[in-house]
Amino acid sequence: MDESLQPAWPAGWTRRHLLDLESLSREEIEILLDTALQMKKLTQGCRAKVPLLSGVTTANLFFENSTRTRLSFSLAARRLGADTVDFTASTSSVSKGESLLDTAKTILAMQVDSLIVRHRAPGAPYILADNLDCCVINAGDGPHEHPTQGLLDMLTIREHRPRFEDLTVALVGDIAHSRTARSNIWGLKKLGAHVIVCGPATLVSRQWEKFGVEVAHRLDDILPRCDVLNLLRIQFERQYTRPFPSVHEYALLYAMNRQRMERAKSDILIMAPGPINRGVEITPDVADGPQSVILDQVTNGLAVRMAVLWLTCRVAQQAAV
């Protein structure tokens, strides 16, 4: 392959799994973001194919629902010339009682190199990484972490605001049950941003202060200070009790709407990991408005996942030589 089509190999990258952002150093996060940017350029905005991973096979092992994450990992693998297969728990032998590890071993026996795992149990990808001889990428483990979502959020912010040290980023909504929140907190803090977690007290504990983030319960109080708002979905599927009286009341206090936009900085970035619930965490005019970068986040998801697949697979290939 033409060497000019290869991103430069970053000396500081040695991992063959991506399980979380908590254990990564600032340098490793910067390597991932820089490589993602190179991937975006090499593929002309995530459009063209570059055969950096031909001969490699990735498998999506999804035990929870997904639209964008699964498609994004599949397309990222294909853009790099890899083969990819899809596993969906509801139509698989899991319903016949097969364990996670046995399912994963069966897929690996088909000569798969990289497993991309989404599971409702926090820690599930770590079990696979500890027991299997392949790359493991965490695509969301319950409420714990969603590292590629954190990275694509940071890449999107960095394209507009390169200096994280100057930024105040608010994560608004269901912090208690959000893996996107956790990965953003670890990543943004390492890059030097000021992070605020904001939502009802039943979903945003004061305990978060221990991680160096500011805790707020009133969006209107913090709004004028924010450079970025990341509006998180209420994770009803992970809740056992009702955290607020009604969705209507939640929207009154926390939905980003036109009136609140008037009180925000004029260049504020409006983000959401998706799926968005229009009228709950964000109104349609704001979701589709000029400050929204929600669809840029989706495109950047491809760039980040190409970078993650390439970096981890290359380490595994070098170890096998």
Site for ligand NCD in 8-67 (CB under 6 A): none
Nearer to ligand NCD, 108 or 181 (CB): 181
CB of 297 to ligand NCD, least distance (A): 9
125 vs 274 by CB, closer to ligand NCD: 274
CB count in 10 Å sphere of residue 237: 10
Q: Which is nearer to ligand NCD, 187 or 274 (CB)?
A: 274
x-or-dash string of contact with ligand NCD, 238-277, rule CB under 6 A? -----------------------------------xx---
Least separation, in Å, of the C-beta of 12 and ligand NCD? 27
Site string for ligand NCD, 106-145 (x = CB under 6 A): ----------------------------------x-----
Cβ-based nearer residue to ligand NCD, 108 or 175: 175
Per-residue CA distances from 310 to 79, 115, 181 (Å): 11, 13, 25
Q: Which of 137, 146, 143, 98 is nearest to 116 (CA)?
A: 137
Annotation-wise, does 274 bind a ligand?
Answer: yes
Of the CA atoms within 13 Å of residue 192, those in its CB half-sphere come to 10
Q: How far apart are CA 111 and CA 36, in angstroms?
A: 26
Minimum distance, C-beta of residue 180 to ligand NCD, in the bound complex (Å): 5
Cα separations in angstroms, 245 against 200, 234, 239, 251, 279: 11, 13, 14, 11, 16
146 alpha carbon, distance to own chain's centre = 5
Q: How many residues does the chain have?
A: 321
- Which lies closer to ligand NCD via its Cβ, residue 56 or residue 141? 141
User: Which one of 10, 22, 68, 81 is in contact with ligand NCD (CB under 6 A)?
Assistant: 68
**190 touches ligand NCD (CB under 6 A):** no
Residues sharing a CB contact under 8 Å with residue 261, sequence separation 6 or more, in sequence order: 268, 286, 289, 291
Q: Name the residue type at position 126.
A: Y
Cα distances (Å, whole numbers) of residue 205 to 29, 104, 217: 27, 36, 9
118 annotated as belonging to a binding site for a ligand: yes
Residue, CB closest to ligand NCD: 233
Applying the rule CB under 6 A, the residues between 145 and 184 that interact with ligand NCD are 146, 149, 179-180
Query: d(Cα 19, Cα 35) in Å, to the nearest integer?
Result: 18
* Residue ranges at the known binding site for carbamoyl phosphate: 68-69, 118, 146, 149, 274-275
Binding site for ligand NCD (CB under 6 A): 68-69, 140, 146, 149, 179-180, 233, 273-274
